[in-house]
Structure formats: C-alpha cells, structure tokens
Chain A
C-alpha cells in the first residue's frame, strides 16, 4: 500500500489576510477616536523632561515626613489583600464549576464577582471615603472589594483546573462534599492561591499609592499635595520612595513564588 502523505495544514489564506486587514483598519479608526497625534508627543517630550529636571536634586529631608504614609501604604495593601481573601474565597468556591453543581448559585457568585471587579478600586475608594471618612481604612476596603472580585475569579479558575482524580477517589471513600473540597480540592489549588495573593499584594502596593489621591490614605496623598504645591523636589523624593518600595516587594514576591514552585 502506498504511503499517504497527510494534507498540509492550510497556511495563510484569503480569509486570514482579510481578517488581518480588517483588524489594522479597526485600529486606525480607533486611533482617530483617541485623537492620536504622534508628532505632538515628540514636541511634548522636552516638557516632560523639564518636570523631571525640576525634581533634581531630590529634597532628602522630606523623606522623614514620608515614612509614616509609606508604611500606611503597605498596611493598606496588606489588609486590602486580607479583605480580598475573605471576599474572594467564598465567592470563588461558589463560582467554580467542579465545586458547586447548581448553575443558579454559580451564576449569582459570578455576577457578584463581576460587579466587584468591574468597578475600579479608585471608584470604590471614593464611595468608602464618603461612607467611613478619610484615611487608610477606606483605602483598604476599596482594595479589598475590588481585588476580592479579581481574586475570586482567579480562585475559581484555579479550582476548576485541578486534577479531578483525587476528587473522585475521595467521593468513592464516602467523604461528603465539604470534606472533598477540604481534602482534595483546596490542597491542590493552594499554591496557586498563594501566588495569586502575592502578585495582587504587589499590585496592591502600586494601587495604594494612587488611592491617597482621593483621600484614602497612604503616600499618594503626599504625592498629590506636593504636585499641587509645585514642590517638585519633594515630588521627586516621593516618586523615588514608591519606586524603591515597589521594586523591593516585586523582588521579594518573585523570590517567594519561585520557592513555592521550585521546591
């Protein structure tokens, strides 16, 4: 019998080219919508450079005032993550297909997660400042609620991707649904949960620097104040401190995540 050469998978065909052309056309159309003017960016660069030049030399004495709000930013990110865990874990469990059989409950959990997620933490912060007053607490609440929506969805996906074998094995022993979740599902998804929380702690530190702008505590408040007062050399110090904080936390969390998967 003669060997049959399998047909080559099709390469670039007319529909692909048409699709690519349509995509480029769409991008160009949107460019008009955002008023994209590349020429002006070139002109604006020196202006931006000038701002940064004014920040030099940074007024280092100012850092003495900054330690407290900087620490506050970390507290906000930390407690934002803790709140996000308490919001995201139950909702994530309810939203995972292999945990909850009832489609109605799953969809309800998903709807709540979508709502929490689709409203940005800055908007939540505005609400919470109005509700509980100025300071770091509304900041932590805002991060917790928004990140709870994000983490809940990530938890649900991590749970749906676990190996179903041990789940079946525990069902076969006569374990109840909750026992199966505790002994077969959570242990498998736990490393994922930890890495997600570490990553969103990093993101939280960056976000918390902005929350101060709407009065939700932290270093962002100092940042906005110095900019409004045209105290550029102080602004420089704030920016450098944020850069240092974010870098250190990135490195630490990358190291910890590496250890979790490496070991």
Chain B
C-alpha cells in the first residue's frame, strides 16, 4: 500500500462533520475513483492527504510513514500532485512557467524569487507538457487556452513535481463530455506510464465505470462502498447518492 487512511475524521469549526472515520488503503499504481455527490467530503478527504486541511482525528500513512501532523510539509506535499476542477493555473503566466511552478517545492526560495529556474526544471517542464501533447503551446499565456487544454497543462504541472500520487479533485466537472473523456484518458495514460497512483474525485457514475480500477463510494463523509467499478449496482448507487432518504 502506497497510501493508507486510518479512521480519518474532519469536523470544521462551526460543527460541519465533513469526514467520519474514513479508512482505506491504496496500492501503488492504482487508478482509484472516489465517487459521491457534492458535499460528500471528497474534496476534504484529498486535502487531508496533502495536508491542505489537517484532520481532526485519524491519520494518513504514506509509504509506511505517518504524515498527518508531522514531517516536513514541503517534502510531503511535493509527493502529491494535485489537479483541480477550476484548473487553477496562474492565468497571466506562460504555460511553461505554470508547469515549472510544479518544481518550486524542490527549489530554494531565493533563486525562485527572481523568477529564475534551473535548466533541468525547464527540461522537466517541457517533457511533462509533451506527455499531455501541449508542448507546442509552451510560450502562450495560460489564459489563451481552452478549458480542456488548461486542465492538460495542470496535469503537466502536477507531473513536474515527480509525484508518487496524483490527487485529482473533480478534474472534469467544468468540461463538456468529449473533452472530459479526453482529459481523463490523458490522466490514466500518464499515470500508467509513470506508475503514479491516482485518486480521482468524480460525481459522474459513467466516468467512474469507464475509468476506475476501483471505486470508493462516499456519502455524508463516510465510505459506503469499496470495490471494482463492475460492482456498482443500482442499489449501491442509491446508497451513495440517496442515503438520506434511506436513513429516514
């Protein structure tokens, strides 16, 4: 297991219980889809892994090391590439610079403050852009790209970190179905080639069936299903999406 979640819980100040004792392990190289409706706690779960959010209880174990609440934050975070629903590129910077920001976690603060990157970082960035077929747009400003292209650049930025795991938080929720499939195909393909483990939040069942090796179904902060995509029956989907009515 490259990643293990042990009874991870998160209650936000104000009392919202986003995660309730979430536990599961992820083997190296798996394409895992976390499926669930909006508000199920999927985003919070990802952010507990790379410590953008600190869990209130439980812990995350990465390569045998407990990383929750201890360890060098920068060293931990650069192991986890992250891809977002809104792409989150810095729009006024070039595509290449955006990808090179994926290298910042490895570089000294003082050199990067004068906007200078080592040759090696440029080489890595171009190589990562090539993996998502975006190297021809390296010198364009990020805001000149379409949504699908921006998300491919965002994937390249995550790859530039040389991560062990990619956390993709609703990566295709802002894209039309054709582009969405294309982006998910790129994500699956580069992860396979490089042996990167992927945790991908989705709320669309179709994509989960099509791309997932394994699905973890979440509802109201708790895991309600864990198994291969083929086992997603109507009954289970009902449990993921309409748990509220069942409980009543």
Contacts and interface: CB of A to CB of B under 8 A. Distances in A.
B110 to A, nearest CB: 9
Contacts of B115: 182
A169 interface: yes
Nearest to A184: B90
Interface of A: 163, 165-166, 168-176, 178-179, 182-184, 187-188, 190-191
B93 A173 contact: no
A187 B92 CA distance: 6
Interface stretch (B3-11, B54-62, B75-83): B75-83
B128 to A, nearest CB: 13
B59 to A, nearest CB: 19
Interface string B24-65: 000000000000000000000000001010000000000000
Choose among B75, B88, B113 the residue with the greatest number of A CB atoms under 10 Å from its CB.
B88
B14 to A, nearest CB: 19
Interface of B: 50, 52, 73-78, 80-82, 84, 86-93, 97, 101-102, 104-107, 109, 112-113, 115, 154, 157-158, 161, 167
B119 to A, nearest CB: 19
Contact of B104 (A165, A168, A174): A174
Interface of A is mostly: helix
A173 B80 CA distance: 7
A182 B77 contact: no
B101 A183 contact: yes
Contacts of A191: 92
Contacts of B91: 166, 188
Contacts of A166: 88-91
Nearest to A190: B92
A172 B113 contact: no
A166 B82 CA distance: 11
Contacts of A170: 90, 101, 104
